């Protein structure tokens, strides 16, 4: 059993509950044990960073310190949470004064940020720790005959100085996972593009245009569905899909899955179990 | 088009400063700046080193007077001393002015503008912004011009001056976006079109567009060129592109190696070795190549600049830019392989003959910057003095034109004249039968110049060069423009630039043949010493009936007597 | 001797350049031309294009000037990525081709096409003007050229990297939001605006900032980091964008614009619950009317699917929220102290 601390992203507790639920179904099958960090707090999205850089450092030092206390790496299933927490980690590791200031406060809770735990995405754990061969061996319902558009999203790739796992211009980890599950990846120009989530409430029209472009390519390339490692991308591409496509005058639709659901399906769990019925497009 | 008071041709440092100053001098004037590239692309951006000014921030005992002396000595006593006075005494003011409007100069510990040593200067007086001095100066000037609402005509290619009798009536230029030939009637025209060292083509560190357009236009309009034979070579240009590998590589301890594996500088400068002065190192490399000790390749002969013994760490930490250049432009990683290099034409001292106010001999026509020859650089420019030159004299030319514009009638350019310019272009687009490729001509021009009018000059070589240029000019008549479209016809533009280079190349070669002495950048094997008696003077070249007619002009002396130039 | 010859037998490879062509005078729509040439090691994409123009097809049109990565003229998309042709090695690009041996060359995006690889840069210049991308000096006119400002190394460091920008527009071409709306300020212009705003010599900080927070300004950036990732000078553009936002919140207050309100909501929620209260985020960002008009139809669908975020009272606080809150507030005190200190300076 490989053990990890599991960071509970706000969105997975509200709008995309099926992500954590799916993981719960299959984690044991793949020899994984995710220990949920109930004390963890919101990472600040991509906003706290500039609203208050010091609070940003504190909050995320704490999130990581909670994992360090258990001696585990921290696993995240949301791109933006991943980027945000890793950004904080980089700043803390590079700025001793900040680390000290933060640790002086964390003492109150008996915590200390040391920088010993890695912060990793669920996708990376699957591909790098579990391994493609193990995954292949566990597949019971291969995603044969499915043409799948891999949508990586931004914050699992960029800034590459913070993420660094995939080549941001030609990422491959998600493609590899899809293929290990028996699916067929299609060439997808938008694979490393943006979904528009972060400006949905500030510049809605622009954001929906951004989303529509990606959806349009997937639809035009006759993909059966889109898969993404990020619940935020999922929310836009699924939840806002009809609005985005309407704005772009496209009369069509395409289902979107989070990787946790795709893994669940290939390991033999049903759409109903995984909560896929709750998607807007399905 | 409504007549302009001032039309400035060129959006480099000289042109932009002229525009700013002209607006300041008289805000009511109607001023236009034309540039064949967006102003921020101008070659001023390539200057890395810095600009000289005796601010005395670093060496407290530095003075304008010392700067003046260094410049005159550096020029091999060919600079006009009154002009050098202006250059150096305006320097501190202009550097501070740039600072005041936003140039991000690097700083000293006491927060004043930083200064560093530079070749040929007795004190560290070169003001810099890291290794991007020209770039940041140009950005600052462009920003300020946008702030002041300067009227830009970007991507307009200047074709001809409209001349009537003894004065100009304005400029004719082609709008690259539409291909339309347009008239810019104007009371005054300022040329600020940069240098001509690109005529050495692949053997030049210059931008592709440093083709001496302004000089060629002025030359064809009958305005004399001055001291054209003086072209500065830099010892370490990349083999394929001629792009510059800065002095830092040798400064950190790089070796120059010939094909026999020798550190040949031992033959020429036993003590200083690779760190000898620029012109000496250039001549040494050239000698090795000429005597058959260079490497050979399809891209030409070269020698090695070897950094490998410095080790990966030092190369990565101290010479990252040089490594990047070498990787990007030669595909060679200096950690693993030596860099192929050879001397490269770098700067043109000669240019449009002007007085200390930027005036040319033609009423209403001015020039400033590298395209002009005041002369402050004489036979050899000091590093860091060129940026200074374009700023100081750009400003002066802008001021003079603004003051004098009122003296002249508004210009007017007839439809007829425009049509002639269009005709000239059209004929190039449809010759029949045998034709020449402009690319080949351009390359041959660079080759013959480098070989015959290059670092080492000699009577028979120069005759050969002159003959080659004449033949190339003949062949040019058959050059064909294949792109027949109006929109952004870069094919046409490059052909017109080639024409300018060919016209100017003749003046360079003829000037070099005439000057029977060695002075500054001009080295005659057959006349190896400076001959002040016969040649302490400027040469002129004026176009009369299609021929370059040589002339001369005395050098203005002042406080400093002629001396031998030794370092 | 043979050894020397061998040394100069530089490797060569056949490379096909698949180049975007469009001449508005004759073409009704763009197309691609293939040019196959033999390229030696060390050759750049720009030199290859020059070769093609000189020897194969003189009508092929592109911009280039310095050929040394400093003038910013030759921005174009090579194998799909916006970059400088003059600093891109052909052999490196060969490793990135989608179809083996075929390098795709296309114009930058999001700027109007002129011809082939040439796009119109005027929109960018117009934006630089709109956002006052210049220093409006506080030096009195009478003192110009006579005095120096004293600038600390610390201040210089703030804009040093930003002044590397050569306006090549690679980031502009890659920007997600600009693709969606051409009015958007653009990353390079944000970067330049930032550079001006942190310069102590400048006197129009407030004016510039007021323009930046308007529609199509700094709050429209969707944090996709594409600009930063493609910057040919490796400038951390997002740091500049974040800094403008931080400045906007501080100088103009957290209730200034919907962008500011949105950002500030994160701070509020984390302090209160340790978790984001997504349900009320739209209302707090844009008000009730906007939310009803824009989100109601979707909310209905969400409700049917039970996808709506829980209302605020039902958002569970993170475990151990009390002590977390105390720590959070302690940091607030630190920040207050920092501000006092910096104001004293
Ligand atoms: C690699 C390199 C490094 C250098 N380093 C230094 C240094 O460290 N210090 C120093 O003092 N000097 C240095 N120099 C020299 C210095 O950079 C130049 O001499 C100087 O920048 C020239 O400025 P300018 O304004 O005269 O011309 P440019 O900056 O060359 O501008 C010429 C302008 O004219 C326009 N133009 C040209 N032809 C036409 C036409 N036909 N129609 C319309 N517009 C036209 C162009 O578009 C451009 O805007 C260096 C030069 C090089 C090549
Ligand atoms: S981070 Fe912002 S400015 Fe940069 S590319 Fe994305 S949307 Fe554009
Ligand atoms: S920020 Fe970088 S990519 Fe963007 S224009 Fe400037 S140099 Fe080019
Ligand atoms: S040609 Fe100047 S940056 Fe490429």
- Predicted pLDDT of residue C7: 39
Place of tokens 């310069």: C199
Residue in C82, C165, C226 to alter for ligand 3 test, most ligand atoms within 8 A of Cβ: C165
Strands (DSSP E) contained in C54-101 are 75-78, 81-84
Domain contains B53:
no
CB atoms closer than 10 angstroms to residue C255: 10
Domain contains B487:
yes
Pocket of ligand 1 contains residue B237 by CB under 6 Å = no
- Predicted pLDDT of residue C10: 58
| CA-based nearest residue in chain C for residue B55 | C148
- pLDDT, mean over chain B: 94
Query: In the CATH scheme, what is the code of domain C121-252?
Result: 1.10.1060.10
Q: Which two tokens stand for residue B67?
A: 């700067």
CB-based contact, C199 to chain B, within 8 Å: yes
3-state helix, strand and coil shares in percent for chain C, rounded to the nearest 5: 50, 10, 40
Q: Model confidence at C1, in pLDDT bands (50, 70, 90)?
A: very low
Question: Do the two chains A and B touch, given a threshold of 8 Å on CB pairs and at least 3 pairs?
Answer: no
Supply the ipTM of this predicted assembly.
Answer: 0.94
Q: Is the pLDDT of residue B430 over 50?
A: yes
- pLDDT, mean over chain C: 92
Rounded Cα–Cα distance for residues A48 and A87 (Å): 12
- Predicted pLDDT of residue B431: 62
Please report, rounded to a whole number, the percentage of residues in chain A having pLDDT higher than 90.
Answer: 95
Residues of chain C contacting residue A276, judged by C-beta atoms under 8 Å apart: none
Question: Which residues, numbered 76 to 115 in chain C, qualify as contacts with chain B under a Cβ-Cβ cut-off of 8 Å?
Answer: 86-89, 91, 114-115
Please report, rounded to a whole number, the percentage of residues in chain C having pLDDT higher than 90.
Answer: 79
Bridge partner residues of A184 (DSSP):
A147
Q: Model confidence at C88, in pLDDT bands (50, 70, 90)?
A: very high
Tell whether omega for the bond before A48 is within 30 degrees of 0, i.e. cis.
no
Chain segment B181-231, per-residue pLDDT in tens = 999 999 999 999 999 999 999 999 999 999 999 999 999 999 999 999 999
Rounded Cα–Cα distance for residues B541 and B75 (Å): 20
B42: number of CA atoms within 13 Å, CB side?
A: 30
Name the residue at shortest CA distance from atom 5 of ligand 3.
C167
- Predicted pLDDT of residue A78: 97
- Predicted pLDDT of residue C344: 64
Residue B340 shares a structural domain with residue B257: yes
Parallel/antiparallel/unpaired status of strands A147-150 and A184-185: parallel
Nearest to B58 by CA among B93, B103, B107, B101: B107
Output the pTM of the full model: 0.95
Q: Where are the domains of chain C?
A: 11-118, 121-252, 258-344
Chain segment B476-514, per-residue pLDDT in tens = 999 999 999 999 999 999 999 999 999 999 999 999 999
Q: In what order do the strands lie in the sheet with B303-306?
A: B231-238, B339-348, B303-306, B255-257
Dihedral class, residue B301 (left if φ above 0, else alpha if ψ from -120 to 50, else beta): beta
Q: Is the pLDDT of residue B64 over 50?
A: yes
Q: Please identify, among B344, B372, B388, the residue that sits at the C-terminal boundary of a domain.
A: B344
- Predicted pLDDT of residue A145: 87
Helix (H, G, I), strand (E, B) or coil at C20: strand
CATH architecture entry for C11-118:
Roll (3.10)
Question: Which residues, numbered 120 to 149 in chain B, qualify as contacts with chain C under a Cβ-Cβ cut-off of 8 Å?
Answer: 129-130, 132, 135-136, 139-140, 143-144, 146-147
- Predicted pLDDT of residue C2: 37
How many contacts (CB atoms, under 8 Å) link B and C?
197
Give ranges for CATH 1.20.1050.140 in chain A.
Answer: 2-121
Q: Is the pLDDT of residue C316 over 60?
A: yes
- pLDDT, mean over chain A: 96
B240 φ/ψ angles, rounded to the nearest 5 degrees: -75, -40
* Nearest ligand by distance to the CA of C233: 3
Domain contains B385:
no
| CA-based nearest residue in chain C for residue A201 | C282
Query: In the CATH scheme, what is the code of domain A132-278?
Result: 3.40.50.11810
Average pLDDT on C217-225 reads: 96
Question: Which residues, numbered 4 to 23 in chain C, qualify as contacts with chain A under a Cβ-Cβ cut-off of 8 Å?
Answer: none
CATH number reported for the structural domain that contains residue B510 in this entry = 1.20.58.100
Domain contains B513:
yes
Question: Do the two chains B and C touch, given a threshold of 8 Å on CB pairs and at least 3 pairs?
Answer: yes
Residue B56: partners with Cβ closer than 8 Å, 6 or more residues away: B62, B63, B125
CB-based contact, C31 to chain B, within 8 Å: no
Number of domains composing chain B? 2
Pocket of ligand 1 contains residue B276 by CB under 6 Å = no
C91 φ/ψ angles, rounded to the nearest 5 degrees: -65, -30
* Nearest ligand by distance to the CA of B51: 1
Kindly report the length of chain A. Answer: 282
Please report, rounded to a whole number, the percentage of residues in chain B having pLDDT higher than 70.
Answer: 99
Q: What residue numbers bound the domain in which B531 lies?
A: 415-538
Q: Model confidence at B1, in pLDDT bands (50, 70, 90)?
A: low
Chain segment C47-81, per-residue pLDDT in tens = 999 999 999 999 999 999 999 999 999 999 999 99
* CB-CB under 8 Å, B295 with C4: yes
Q: Model confidence at C297, in pLDDT bands (50, 70, 90)?
A: confident
Residue in C232, C237, C241 to alter for ligand 3 test, most ligand atoms within 8 A of Cβ: C232
Name the residue at shortest CA distance from atom 37 of ligand 1.
B193
Active site residue B220: no
Crossing angle, helix B490-514 and helix B459-476, to 10 degrees? 150
Among A113-127, B154-168, B430-444, the range scoring the smallest mean pLDDT is: B430-444
Domain contains B524:
yes
CATH number reported for the structural domain that contains residue B307 in this entry = 3.90.700.10
C89 φ/ψ angles, rounded to the nearest 5 degrees: -80, 130
3-state helix, strand and coil shares in percent for chain A, rounded to the nearest 5: 50, 10, 40
Q: Model confidence at C9, in pLDDT bands (50, 70, 90)?
A: very low
- CA angle at residue B49 from B46 to B55, to 5 degrees? 130
Nearest to C231 by CA among C150, C300, C161, C292: C161
Residue B433 shares a structural domain with residue B321: no
Domain contains B74:
no
Q: In what order do the strands lie in the sheet with C102-106?
A: C31-40, C12-21, C102-106, C75-78, C81-84
B332 φ/ψ angles, rounded to the nearest 5 degrees: -115, 130
Active site residue B428: no
Residue B426 shares a structural domain with residue B526: yes
Crossing angle, helix B385-404 and helix B81-100, to 10 degrees? 90
- Predicted pLDDT of residue C345: 56
**Catalytic option among B41, B250, B359, B538:** B250
Q: Is the pLDDT of residue B433 over 80?
A: no
| CA-based nearest residue in chain B for residue C124 | B38
Chain segment B338-350, per-residue pLDDT in tens = 999 999 999 999 9
Average pLDDT on B9-26 reads: 98
Q: Model confidence at C30, in pLDDT bands (50, 70, 90)?
A: very high
Average pLDDT on C209-224 reads: 97
- Predicted pLDDT of residue C3: 40
Quickly name the fold that domain A2-121 has. Answer: Glutathione S-transferase Yfyf (Class Pi); Chain A, domain 2 (1.20.1050)
């Amino acid at each position: 059993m490989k053990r990890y601390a599991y960071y509970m992203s706000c969105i997975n507790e509200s709008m995309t509950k099926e992500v954590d639920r799916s993981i719960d179904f299959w984690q044991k099958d793949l020899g994984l044990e995710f220990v949920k960090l109930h004390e963890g707090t919101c990472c600040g999205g991509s906003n706290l960073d500039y609203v208050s850089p010091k609070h940003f450092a504190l909050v995320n030092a704490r999130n990581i310190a909670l994992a360090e206390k258990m001696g585990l790496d921290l696993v995240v299933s949301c791109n933006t949470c991943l980027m945000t927490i890793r950004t904080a980690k980089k700043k803390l590791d590079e700025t001793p004064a900040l680390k000290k200031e933060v640790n002086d406060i964390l003492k109150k809770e008996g915590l200390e940020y040391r920088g010993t735990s890695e912060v990793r995405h669920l996708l990376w754990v699957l591909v790098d720790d579990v391994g493609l061969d193990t995954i292949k061996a566990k597949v019971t319902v291969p995603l044969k005959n499915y043409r799948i558009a891999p949508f990586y999203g931004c914050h699992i790739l960029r800034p590459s100085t913070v993420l660094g796992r995939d080549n941001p211009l030609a990422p491959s980890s998600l493609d590899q996972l899809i293929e290990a599950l028996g699916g067929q990846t299609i060439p997808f120009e938008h694979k490393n593009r943006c979904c528009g989530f972060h400006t949905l409430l500030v510049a809605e029209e622009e954001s929906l245009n951004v989303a529509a472009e990606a959806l349009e390519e997937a639809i035009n390339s006759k993909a059966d569905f889109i898969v993404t490692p990020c619940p935020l991308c999922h929310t836009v591409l699924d939840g806002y899909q009809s609005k985005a496509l309407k704005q772009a005058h496209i009369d069509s639709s395409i289902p979107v899955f989070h990787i946790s659901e795709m893994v669940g399906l290939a390991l033999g769990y049903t759409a109903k179990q995984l909560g896929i019925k709750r998607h807007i497009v399905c | 088009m409504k007549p302009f008071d001032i039309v400035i041709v060129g959006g480099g440092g000289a042109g932009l400063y002229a525009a700013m100053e002209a607006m300041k001098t008289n805000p009511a004037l109607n001023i236009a700046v034309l540039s064949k590239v967006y102003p921020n692309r101008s070659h001023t951006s390539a200057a890395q080193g810095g600009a000289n000014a005796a601010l005395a921030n670093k060496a407290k005992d530095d003075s304008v007077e010392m700067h003046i002396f260094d410049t005159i000595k550096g020029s091999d006593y060919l600079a006009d001393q009154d002009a050098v006075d202006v250059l150096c005494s305006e320097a501190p003011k202009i550097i501070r002015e740039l600072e005041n409007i936003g140039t991000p100069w690097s700083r000293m510990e006491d927060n004043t503008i930083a200064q560093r040593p530079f070749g040929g200067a007795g004190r560290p007086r070169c003001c810099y912004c890291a290794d991007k001095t020209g770039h940041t100066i140009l950005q600052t000037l462009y920003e300020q011009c946008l702030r002041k609402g300067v009227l830009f005509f970007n991507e307009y290619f200047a074709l001809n001056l409209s001349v009537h009798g003894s004065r100009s009536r304005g400029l004719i230029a082609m709008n690259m976006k539409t291909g339309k030939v347009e008239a810019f009637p104007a009371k005054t025209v300022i040329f600020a079109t940069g240098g001509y060292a690109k005529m050495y083509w692949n053997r030049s560190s210059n931008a592709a567009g440093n083709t001496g357009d302004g000089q060629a236009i002025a030359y064809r309009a009958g305005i004399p060129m001055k001291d054209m034979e003086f072209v500065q070579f830099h010892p370490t240009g990349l083999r394929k592109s001629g792009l510059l590998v800065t002095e830092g590589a040798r400064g950190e301890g790089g070796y120059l190696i010939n094909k026999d594996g020798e550190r040949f500088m031992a033959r020429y400068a036993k003590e200083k070795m690779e760190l000898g002065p620029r012109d000496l190192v250039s001549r040494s490399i050239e000698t090795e190549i000429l005597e058959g000790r260079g490497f050979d390749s399809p891209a030409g002969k070269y020698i090695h600049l070897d950094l490998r013994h410095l080790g990966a760490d030092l190369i990565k930490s101290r010479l990252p830019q040089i490594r990047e250049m070498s990787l990007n432009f030669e595909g060679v990683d200096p950690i693993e392989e030596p860099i192929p290099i050879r001397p490269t034409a770098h700067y043109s001292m000669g240019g449009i003959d002007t007085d200390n106010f930027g005036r040319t001999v033609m009423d209403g026509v001015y020039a400033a910057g590298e395209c002009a020859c005041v002369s402050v650089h004489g036979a050899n420019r000091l590093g860091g003095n060129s940026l200074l030159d374009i700023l100081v004299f750009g400003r002066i030319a802008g001021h003079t034109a603004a003051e004098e514009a009122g003296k002249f009638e508004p210009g007017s350019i007839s439809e007829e004249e425009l049509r002639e310019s269009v005709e000239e272009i059209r004929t190039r687009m449809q010759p029949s039968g045998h034709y020449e490729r402009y690319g080949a001509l351009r390359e041959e021009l660079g080759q013959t110049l480098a070989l015959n009018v290059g670092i080492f000059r000699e009577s028979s070589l120069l005759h050969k060069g002159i003959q080659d240029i004449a033949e190339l000019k003949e062949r040019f008549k058959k050059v064909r423009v294949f792109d027949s479209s109006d929109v952004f016809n870069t094919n046409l533009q490059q052909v017109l630039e080639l024409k300018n280079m060919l016209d100017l190349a003749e003046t360079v070669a003829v000037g070099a043949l005439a000057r029977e002495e060695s002075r500054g950048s001009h080295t005659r094997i057959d006349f190896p010493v400076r001959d002040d008696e016969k040649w302490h003077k400027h040469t002129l070249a004026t176009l009369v009936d299609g021929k370059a007619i040589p002339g001369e002009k005395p050098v203005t002396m002042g406080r400093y007597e002629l001396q031998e130039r030794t370092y | 001797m043979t050894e020397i010859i061998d040394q100069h037998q530089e490797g060569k490879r056949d490379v096909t350049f698949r180049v975007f062509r469009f001449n508005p005078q004759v073409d009704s729509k763009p197309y691609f031309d293939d040019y196959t040439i033999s390229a030696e090691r060390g050759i750049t994409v720009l030199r290859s294009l020059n070769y093609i123009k000189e020897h194969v097809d003189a009508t092929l049109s592109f911009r280039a000037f310095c050929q040394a990565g400093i003038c910013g003229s030759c921005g174009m998309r090579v194998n799909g990525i916006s970059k400088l042709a003059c600093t891109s090695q052909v052999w490196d690009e060969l490793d990135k081709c989608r179809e083996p041996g075929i390098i795709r060359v296309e114009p930058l995006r999001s700027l109007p096409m002129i011809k082939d690889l040439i796009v119109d840069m005027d929109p960018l210049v117009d934006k630089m003007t709109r956002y006052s991308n210049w220093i409006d000096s506080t030096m009195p006119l009478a003192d110009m050229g006579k005095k120096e400002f004293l600038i600390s190394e610390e201040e210089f460091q703030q804009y040093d990297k930003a002044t590397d920008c050569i306006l090549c527009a690679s980031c502009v071409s890659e920007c997600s939001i600009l693709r969606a709306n051409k009015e958007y300020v653009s990353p390079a212009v944000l970067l330049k605006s930032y550079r001006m705003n942190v310069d102590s010599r400048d006197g129009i900080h407030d004016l510039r900032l007021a323009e930046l927070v308007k529609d199509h300004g700094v709050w429209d950036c969707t944090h996709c980091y594409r600009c930063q990732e493609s910057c040919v000078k490796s400038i951390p553009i997002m740091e500049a964008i974040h800094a403008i936002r931080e400045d906007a919140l501080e100088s103009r207050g957290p209730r200034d614009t919907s962008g500011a309100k949105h950002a500030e909501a994160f701070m509020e929620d984390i302090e209160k619950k340790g978790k984001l209260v997504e349900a009320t985020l739209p209302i707090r960002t844009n008000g009730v009317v906007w939310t009803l008009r824009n989100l109601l139809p979707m909310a209905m669908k969400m409700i049917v699917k039970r996808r709506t975020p829980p209302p605020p009272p039902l958002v569970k606080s993170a475990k151990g929220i009390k002590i977390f809150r105390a720590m959070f507030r302690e940091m607030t005190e630190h920040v207050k102290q920092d501000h006092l200190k910096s104001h004293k300076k």
